[in-house]
Amino acid sequence: MLEQFEAVILTEDKLQIRDFLNDQNISDVADLVYEFPDFEGQIIANMSVHRAASVFKILEFPTQKRIIQILPPNTVASLLNELPADDRTDFLEELPSNAVRELIKLMDPEERKITLSLLGYPENSIGRLMTPDYVYVYPENTIEEVFSTIRKYGKDSETINVIYVINDKGELLDDIRIRDFILNPPDKTVRELMDERVTSLNAYDDQESASEVFKMNNRVALPVVSNSNKLLGIVTIDDILWVASEEFSEDIQKIGGTEALDQPYLEMPIMRLFKKRVVWLIILFLGELLTATAMAYFEDEIAKAVVLALFIPLIISSGGNSGSQASTLIIQAMAVGEITISDWWRVMKREIISGLLLGTVLGIFGFLRIFLWHSFAPDIYGEHWMGIGITVGITLLGVVLWGTLSGSMLPMALKKLGADPAVSSAPFVATLVDVTGLIIYFSVAYLILSGSLL
């Protein structure tokens, strides 16, 4: 296909280019846009406006922005007017305010009104995702009248799987699946089909909360209402999947110890990328300085038994790894709704058992390591090898247990305080456990080796 397109585009025959592009799948045309960036404006301009809008809305934002800058104003106007209201809002909210003002001037009055309404909702609210293109009916309508309404307005609706029932005040009363209308006689009224068990979203709720509602209700679309229960629009599952993907990306970036990136990695200016990363690195660096403070506090013990210093990397890395594991598991479980803050005691009990089991395994391995090395080279640890082995084994048990507890409880504590659980990222937990791990290590060493090696 790439060779065919290259041959067609070089002919500069607009009719031939249009015919070729209109014969391709939407996703294939999007691939052509990415494959031939020098022709991205021509690709969109030479398609029917409906297909051009379908391609445009699935492109990445930097590509969309370049295309809008290339296209002539009349083509931009047609494209923006054709885009679904929610996709158009997603695009516009990424642009500078002066650019948004200029583009809104190009729209039809009705589309401009819809767009300004959607942009009036808070960022990351469900109101920004909703589309006003849906089919609604009234309780007194017959099924025959419902089908007349669907035939008249359905082609402009994003989905007709569900028909919404409102009263004269515009308040949402019910939502009824299309199959219920199909399977009932035409003279039956909408009121007779209503059960008034309707699930809706509030326009001012956070977008992230909508995914759980969709999952629990097994719906492809849900109505969006105002605080007074007025039906404002609908949100479809494709928008929620996009939000879930964005939130997942942000959480992964935060878990890695950086601020969430608000644009693709390769498109972000290097100085902005630097600012996103440097803050957390400084915080983690300052945290690691406490490690040096802890080691200075136990300087006398280290001087008396230099051999203890050999196991410091082993101890702190084991604690950090167990903490990172627990933190990642809990953040993921909270993100998908598997656990809530109220489950903290159940989580703690499970992590205590897990920490003891994991710590015991690592503690045995640590002791066996010292035992085997002593068997081959007795001079390495000297006559106190048994005490050192027990110290390392018990310390590994304690540090791993503490790491799992810290990694599991910290995300829940942050959630309780209203912060983002992803902030308790693996590096943050690892830094915390590094410092406390040293304290545990030398405290255990003092208790076991005091009077012999110390």
- Give residue 157's pLDDT: 77
Q: Angle at which helices 270-297 and 426-449 pack, to 10 degrees?
A: 10
| C-alpha span between 270 and 346 (Å, rounded) | 44
User: What's 146's domain CATH number?
Assistant: 3.10.580.10
| 281 compared with 45, residue with greater pLDDT | 45
Domain-embedded: residue 245: no
- Give residue 425's pLDDT: 61
| 124 compared with 412, residue with greater pLDDT | 412
User: What's 100's domain CATH number?
Assistant: 1.25.60.10
Domain-embedded: residue 19: yes
Q: Angle at which helices 344-376 and 312-335 pack, to 10 degrees?
A: 150
Q: Are residues 48 and 22 in contact, defined by beta-carbon separation less than 8 angstroms?
A: yes
* Cβ count near 192 (within 10 Å): 10
Number of H helices, E strands in the chain: 21, 6
Q: Answer whether residue 424 shows pLDDT above 60.
A: no
- The domain boundary, picked from 189, 221, 236, lies at 236
How does pLDDT run across 174-188, given as a tens digit for each residue?
999 899 999 999 999
- CA–CA–CA angle 66, 67, 71 (5° rounding): 125
Mean pLDDT of 363-392: 86
Instruction: Label each residue of 37-89 as H, E or C.
Output: HHHHHHHHHCCCHHHHHHHHCCCCHHHHHHHHHHCCHHHHHHHHHHCCHHHHH
* Structure confidence at residue 192 as a pLDDT band (50, 70, 90): very high
Quick one: which H or E segment has residue 318?
helix 312-335
| 321 compared with 360, residue with greater pLDDT | 360
- Give residue 251's pLDDT: 65
Q: Indicate if 228 and 109 belong to the same structural domain.
A: no
Mean predicted lDDT score pLDDT of the chain:
82
- Give residue 258's pLDDT: 59
- Give residue 319's pLDDT: 87
Domain that holds residue 78: 2-120
Q: Is the pTM of this model over 0.95?
A: no
- Give residue 453's pLDDT: 66
Domain-embedded: residue 318: yes
End-to-end CA distance of the chain: 76
Q: Indicate if 226 and 352 belong to the same structural domain.
A: no
Question: How many domains in the chain?
Answer: 3
Domain-embedded: residue 202: yes
| C-alpha span between 413 and 398 (Å, rounded) | 22
Q: Which of 59-68, 253-262, 266-275 has the lowest mean pLDDT?
A: 253-262
Mean pLDDT of 380-386: 78
- Give residue 248's pLDDT: 66
Q: Are residues 232 and 224 in contact, defined by beta-carbon separation less than 8 angstroms?
A: yes
CA 209 from centroid of its chain's CA atoms: 12
pLDDT > 70 in the chain, percent: 89
| 422 compared with 15, residue with greater pLDDT | 15
Closest CA to 452 of 382, 375, 392, 368: 382
Backbone φ and ψ of 398, nearest 5°: -65, -40
Domain-embedded: residue 16: yes
User: What's 348's domain CATH number?
Assistant: 1.10.357.20
| C-alpha span between 302 and 309 (Å, rounded) | 7
* Structure confidence at residue 361 as a pLDDT band (50, 70, 90): very high
